[in-house]
Amino acid sequence: MYSIGSILKNIRENIGLNLQEVQQLSKIDITQLSRIENGKRLPTSEQLKKLSEIYNYDYKKLLVHRESDKIINSVEYPEIAEETLKVAETKLKYGQKYLSLFQNEIYQAPIPIESRRYIGSKAKLADWIMNIIDNETNNIKTFVDLFAGTGIIANKALNKYNKVIINDILYSNNVIYKGFFQHGIWDMNKLQDILLYYNGINPDKLTDNFFSENYGGKFFNYNVSKHIGYIREDIEEMKDKLTEKEYNILLATLIYNIDKLANTVGHFDAYIKKPINEQKLYMRLIDAKNFNNVEIYRKDANLLARSIKADIVYIDPPYNSRQYSRFYHLYETLIKWDKPQLYGVALKPKPDNMSLYCTTKARDVFEDLIANLQTQYIAVSYNNTYNSKSNSSENKIKLEEIENILKKCGETKVFECTHRFFNTGKTEFKNHKEFLFITKVHEKRKNISFPSLLRW
Ligand SMILES: C[S@@+](CC[C@H](N)C(=O)[O-])C[C@H]1O[C@@H](n2cnc3c(N)ncnc32)[C@H](O)[C@@H]1O
């Protein structure tokens, strides 16, 4: 290789000096000189300085050769050496600016559906749940995720079963399902261009808007709030130039990208009362897919249950008094974009979409739901937050109540899994357990729907 050693030897021979003469002039030991020329060691900067003077050769050029030898010697994988050097060159050139310049390249991967903070998300339990369902059921064609939340369970089901029905009462969840799953047309280049425009905006130059006036400096840093409000308004103004799928992808993309920046512990019941670090909103597209086998609803589960037929219905309702429409009010307001009057420290709108599952009627509503399902199997998730000391975390339905209701309907098995409770960090549920009931519905019970036990 054309290393510093062979370059020094070449120069020395060119000017007609032998090693002994160089030793005398430089006072560098002859064996060291020889090892340097043979590439067995690199010259120190001091040695190079002396040799450059004796050889009357540019010191900086010699240094550059020596430094490049060092880089080459440190390369562990020769097959990617060239590419590595190019990247190192760019990093040197752009210094601190490197990250922002190459953000596009770095963050190209689309955001997966799991990448969201959501109370009660079954992200960590999804495989456990799906495996049990798989083992305990036969001939499943239509799968229903009736309280779908993040849509993580539905996502698994979509890749497995012929037809999947997804439902949740929240507007923000509905938009997410449509963005990720709904069949529709979208132009990737058009969406990338829109995001490029959004990512290039300097929030300092934006004026105040509904979002920043209300949430700025609270749920998000003030500049990020201006940016979010501007983007939301722009999506609405562009609506007639977007397909339905494009509109939903952009809204879901907005939720997923701001979720990481929210100054909260994972929901919007409160914000963290500490100064918010400087932040920048960078929008990356969600991993949108096009499924032919999906039906998406935003209905009360008990009403929807009366109008659908399925092979299995997966049920994961809220079990305590904490309403999801209140926990995620900010996303609801962002998606509805009706700019309502907001109240209280947490800036919530007037109550909407309140779930009976979070009230003392929970047991009766659950019974009504089970009675009206037209399905072969029922799968119910349940967790034992019941022993909690905090009233709002106390379960509205007891484990035994669920079991008794399900047993009336068919042969029921209970599966149990221990996993760390996902909460705000204030209350520790050390013995948190997650249960999954699987009920094989009695033959005579199938396909019969019951009049409502409740007044809707
Ligand atoms: C425990 S979470 C579901 C979590 C979900 N399995 C996941 O993995 O993300 C309960 C969900 O039920 C929804 N919900 C509450 N009451 C409902 C009702 N009456 N009808 C439909 N959805 C309801 C809430 O909006 C919330 O998203």
Supply the CATH number for residue 11's domain: 1.10.260.40
Q: Are residues 208 and 282 in the same domain?
A: yes
pLDDT at residue 450 greater than cutoff 70: no
Between the CA of 76 and the centroid of ligand 1 the distance, in Å, is: 51
d(CA 397, CA 278): 43
Q: Is the CB of 149 under 6 A from ligand 1?
A: yes
d(CA 373, CA 370): 5
Q: Are residues 192 and 269 in the same domain?
A: yes
Residue 272, pLDDT score? 93
d(CA 257, CA 378): 34
Q: Is the CB of 300 under 6 A from ligand 1?
A: yes
Tell me which DSSP letter residue 343 carries.
Answer: B
In a domain, 144, yes or no: yes
* Closest CA relative to residue 47, chosen from 63, 68, 67: 63
Count: domains in the chain:
2
d(CA 355, CA 359): 7
DSSP string, 164-204: EEEE-S-HHHHHHHHHHT------HHHHHHHHHHHHT--GG
Q: Are residues 21 and 132 in the same domain?
A: no
Q: Are residues 278 and 416 in the same domain?
A: yes
Residue 258 to residues 251, 278, 343, 427, 447, Cα–Cα distance (Å): 11, 14, 22, 26, 43
Work out whether strand 433-441 and strand 377-383 pair parallel, antiparallel, or are unpaired. antiparallel
What's the mean pLDDT in 18-34?
A: 95
Q: Are residues 18 and 162 in the same domain?
A: no
d(CA 265, CA 244): 32
Q: Are residues 214 and 311 in the same domain?
A: yes
In a domain, 80, yes or no: no
Between the CA of 162 and the centroid of ligand 1 the distance, in Å, is: 23
pLDDT at residue 16 greater than cutoff 50: yes
Residue 114, pLDDT score? 96
Tell me which DSSP letter residue 387 carries.
Answer: G
Q: Is the CB of 324 under 6 A from ligand 1?
A: yes
In a domain, 87, yes or no: no
From 74, 97, 113, give the residue that closes a domain. 74
Ligand 1 pocket test, pick from 355, 358, 422 with the greatest ligand atom count within 8 Å of Cβ, gives 355
Q: Are residues 141 and 55 in the same domain?
A: no
Structure tokens that stand for 151 in this block: 């849509």
Supply the CATH number for residue 319's domain: 3.40.50.150
Band (109; pLDDT cuts 50, 70, 90): confident
Calculate the CA 393 to chain-centre distance: 26
Q: Is the CB of 43 under 6 A from ligand 1?
A: no
Q: Are residues 60 and 171 in the same domain?
A: no
Q: Is the CB of 317 under 6 A from ligand 1?
A: yes
Between the CA of 141 and the centroid of ligand 1 the distance, in Å, is: 23
Q: Structural domain of residue 14, as residue ranges?
A: 4-74
Positive or negative torsion for Cα 87, 89, 93, 96: positive
In a domain, 454, yes or no: no
In a domain, 222, yes or no: yes
In a domain, 359, yes or no: yes
Ligand 1 pocket test, pick from 124, 167, 169, 267 with the greatest ligand atom count within 8 Å of Cβ, gives 169
Q: Is the CB of 156 under 6 A from ligand 1?
A: no
pLDDT tens digits, one per residue of 127-186: 999 999 999 999 999 999 999 999 999 999 999 999 999 999 999 999 999 999 999 999
